[in-house]
């Protein structure tokens, strides 16, 4: 009977998970920047800059957390933070 080696595993390695979250946060950061530019073109507001600026900062924090191996925490922050930013956009911005 052959025993599974250390190389045989299901799922992602920690390095792959970090890279995927870094790329995901980078893509979402670019998307938030594009939405910020589009929203500022239609109306100039400090609240718009605040909401989308906070989302951009959050994406940067997630990238740094992922670089330091805190991928689960980064994933939760990214999901909750971007959902909060979109909810704030929908509820607070005219």
- The answer to whether residues 83 and 32 touch, using CB atoms and an 8 Å cutoff, is no
Distance CA 29, CA 17 (A): 18
64-81 pLDDT, tens digit per residue, is 988 888 888 888 998 998
2-52 pLDDT, tens digit per residue, is 555 555 567 888 888 889 988 988 998 999 899 889 888 887 788 888 888
The secondary element (H helix, E strand) that includes residue 81 is helix 71-92
pLDDT at 1: 58
Domain definitions of the chain by residue range: 14-92
């Amino acid at each position: 009977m052959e025993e599974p080696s250390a190389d045989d595993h299901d799922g992602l390695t920690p390095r792959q998970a970090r890279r995927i979250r870094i790329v995901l946060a980078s893509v979402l950061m670019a998307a938030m920047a594009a939405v910020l530019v589009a929203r500022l073109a239609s109306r100039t507001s400090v609240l718009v800059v605040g909401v989308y600026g906070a989302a951009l900062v959050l994406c940067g924090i997630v990238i740094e957390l992922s670089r330091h191996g805190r991928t689960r925490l980064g994933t939760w922050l990214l999901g909750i933070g971007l959902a909060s930013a979109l909810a704030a956009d929908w509820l607070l911005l005219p």
